[in-house]
Amino acid sequence: MAGRISVTVTGHVQGVGYRYYVTDCAIDRGISGYVKNNPDGTVSVVAEGEESKLQDLIDAMRAAGDPYIHVHDMSVTWETARQEFRGFFIRR
């Protein structure tokens, strides 16, 4: 079943390649949507795909063990998929 997540990620997640990391993780799982930096230092992710793959993406987005990325918290909201994206990209 398809779903949608809106995620706000806090921590040391800007200036460390986190958007590229999330993009690679999403593309590897066949997930569509986007990732973007926010002015307050957080990162936002909106993603759509199979719910099991979205859960896997959430787990991967913690970037456990990465020497530069340090995720402190992730606020995740589950929604109904709107199928508005083609592919996954970095929004500026």
What pLDDT was estimated at residue 82? 95
Which CATH number is correct for 2-82, 3.30.70.100, 3.90.1200.10, 2.60.40.650, 3.40.50.720?
Answer: 3.30.70.100
pLDDT tens-digit map of 4-58: 999 999 999 999 999 999 999 999 999 999 999 999 999 999 999 999 999 999 9
Residue 71: CB atoms within 10 Å: 17
The domain locations on the chain are: 2-82
Residues 6 or more apart from 14 whose CB is under 8 A from it? 37, 41, 43
The model's confidence at residue 66, banded by pLDDT at 50, 70 and 90, is very high
For residue 92, indicate whether it is catalytic.
no
CB neighbourhood size of 61 (10 A): 25
Q: Is 19 a catalytic residue?
A: yes
Sign of the CA dihedral running 87, 1, 37, 11: negative
Q: Which among 37, 62, 86, 92 is annotated as catalytic?
A: 37
- Taking 90 as the threshold, does the pLDDT of residue 1 lie above it? no
Tell me the per-residue pLDDT of 71-89, one tens digit each, with 9 for 90 and over: 999 999 999 999 999 999 9
* Element holding 89 (H helix, E strand): strand 88-90
